[in-house]
Amino acid sequence: MWLIPLLKGLLLGFSIAAPVGPIGILCMRRTLTLGRLHGFLSGLGAATADAIYGFIAGFGLTLITTFLLDQKVILQLVGGLFLIYLGVQTFRSKPAVDAAKATGDTLFKSYASTLLLTITNPMTIMSFVGAFAGLGLGDSADAGFTPAIALVVGVFAGSALWWLLLSLLVGLLRERLKGAAFLWINRVSGAMLSVFGLFAIMGLLFRG
């Protein structure tokens, strides 16, 4: 039976993606300044990382999970530094004049950057491991290959659905913004991303 794991994965992926954090801010900023496609692809990068971690947790790949958790400090450091880098670049960037002229390369960067950020966030794998254990989803692989795959597909679809809705809704606001508003969006979102990065690194300094 694949329908129930699919629905459970859908709800789980949606609920894990929904809380607004650095990825949400990045997605909204790119939607407002570059357009809905950039915003959605930014979210899709996070959804891909969610599916990867969902696969690891769903199939009970404990060796990989243990390795990732053992590398928590390195991953958090890389993620924090990358957030600061994105924050500074965003703060300094000039508003896009014509988002329709964006190249495939910049679209790929929108996708790849959020994929990297989500993969390097140790809380992501911990969220999935905890949620799967709490909801009794970790044993899906024991019931067969198909239910486990359905679970992972559901996680990806649920996460992607959230980012699609967010980019569409924020895109409506974009049509009402002009001129200096985009510059301030860059500055505010850039500052917030940098703060998230600083908190990640400070969390390492004050551990234990």
pLDDT in tens, the chain (208 residues): 678 888 888 988 888 888 778 888 888 888 888 888 999 999 999 999 989 888 887 776 666 767 777 777 887 888 888 888 888 887 887 665 444 444 445 888 899 999 998 888 777 777 777 666 665 555 544 456 777 788 889 989 999 999 999 999 888 887 776 666 767 777 888 888 888 888 878 887 776 5
What is the model's pTM?
0.76
- Gyration radius from the chain CA atoms: 18
Question: Are residues 16 and 24 in contact, defined by beta-carbon separation less than 8 angstroms?
Answer: no
Three-state SS at 175: coil
Residue 175 class from Cβ within 10 Å (0-12 exposed, 13-18 middle, 19+ buried)? Answer: exposed
Chain position carrying tokens 């789980």: 12
